[in-house]
Amino acid sequence: MKTELYTIDTLSNLHVGAGDINFDIIDNQVQRDPITTLPNINSSSLKGAFREHFSTFDQDGKKLDDSKMVKYIFGADNKDDKNQQSGAYSFFEAQLLTRPVRSSEKPYFNATSPAVLTALLQTLEDFEISFDESLKAEIKKLSELRVSKPLIFENLQNVMLEDFEAEYKSFDTSKLKEFLGDDLALFSDKDFKELTLPVLARNHLEDGVSKNLWYEEVVPKKSKFFFCISKPTNLDERDKKEKIDGFENRFNREGSRIQFGANKSIGYGFSKVTKVSK
């Protein structure tokens, strides 16, 4: 097996629902990692979104039989009693890498934390992922900075990030911009976890009359996640050409824009997926 690393850049607000009953003021909450409590996308949700994207539907929206490629990559559909093969690809959960935070000086900064960066580095190590070594070294340097107040790396004064007063730190982020984004901010792990997500009010209408106001949590656009896919390498040339190469070529051609989670009809979840491993 070979494991590849991908990033997800949210182009619109994202809501991948937790699906749990709760008695909080927020009716629909997003999925979160049970350990870090940070927003994530569970592997089953991730795999389901990819499978739907690469499946074929008729003009009425009815799903047609999956191609050999889709069955091989994702496994047989649960309703398929004839062939219950498992998928050849293994999908891992998507973990939060950066998220935008409001700023008094700019529209937003891209916030992350040492623990988040360390988790990325640990993933690269655990799965022996081929990755740019110079970039990995810069991420490691950033993860080792000591943080009390949120750090920014542009010499600006009196900057507020959300409700936090930021502090300037001299650190060259030029090699990190393409991967982590411009206007980087490094929060302490504690403060990063305590950053709240936007909550949007939704209104249920019946015949134009408001019947129910409810609240939904979203991961804001311009957030970035990372995730892995493990792929088989011991294939004969014919299988590789028909199944693996076909998927990879289609993914590179049209699959970089994928919708994750709910509320597709109102523009939620549209994202750009990019392979970042070598």
Q: For residue range 147-166, what is the model confidence (pLDDT) as tens digits?
A: 999 999 999 999 999 999 99
Chain centroid offset of residue 112 CA = 14
Taking the C-alpha atoms of residue 186 and residue 188, their distance in angstroms, rounded to an integer, is 7
Taking the C-alpha atoms of residue 211 and residue 225, their distance in angstroms, rounded to an integer, is 36
**pLDDT > 90 fraction of the chain, expressed in percent and rounded:** 58
Measured between alpha carbons, how far is residue 139 from residues 114, 120, 131, 188, 209 in Å?
A: 9, 9, 12, 15, 52
Taking the C-alpha atoms of residue 111 and residue 222, their distance in angstroms, rounded to an integer, is 11
Residue whose tokens read 């988790």: 119
| Residue predicted with more confidence, 25 or 232 | 232
Does position 48 have pLDDT exceeding 60, yes or no?
Answer: yes
DSSP state of 14: B
Taking the C-alpha atoms of residue 169 and residue 145, their distance in angstroms, rounded to an integer, is 10
Measured between alpha carbons, how far is residue 223 from residues 117, 190, 197, 270 in Å?
A: 15, 19, 11, 12
Does position 238 have pLDDT exceeding 90, yes or no?
Answer: no
For the whole model, what pTM was predicted?
0.88
Residue whose tokens read 């305590």: 194
* Residue 136 burial by Cβ neighbours in a 10 Å radius (0-12, 13-18, 19+): middle
- Given CA atoms 151, 114, 108, 17 in this order, what sign does their dihedral have? negative
| Residue predicted with more confidence, 223 or 254 | 223
CA angle, residues 98, 104, 109, in degrees to nearest 5: 15
- What was the pLDDT predicted at 23? 47
Residues 153 and 169 sit within 8 Å (Cβ to Cβ)? yes
Mean predicted confidence (pLDDT) in 124-141: 97
- What was the pLDDT predicted at 201? 78
- What was the pLDDT predicted at 53? 84
- Given CA atoms 262, 264, 269, 272 in this order, what sign does their dihedral have? positive
- What was the pLDDT predicted at 210? 61
Does position 212 have pLDDT exceeding 70, yes or no?
Answer: no
| Residue predicted with more confidence, 246 or 135 | 135
Nearest to 200 by CA among 25, 82, 74, 68: 25
Q: Which domains does the chain have, with CATH numbers?
A: 1-16+43-92+219-278 (2.60.40), 99-196 (no CATH)
Residues 208 and 231 sit within 8 Å (Cβ to Cβ)? no
DSSP state of 228: E
Most confident of 58-72, 210-224, 250-264: 210-224
Q: Pick the range with the lowest mean pLDDT from 6-10, 22-26, 223-227, 246-250.
A: 22-26
Residue 160, strand partner residues: 165
Mean predicted confidence (pLDDT) in 29-55: 91
DSSP state of 264: G
DSSP state of 221: T
Q: What is residue 150's three-state secondary structure? A: coil
Taking the C-alpha atoms of residue 277 and residue 4, their distance in angstroms, rounded to an integer, is 6
Structural tokens at position 26: 């927020």
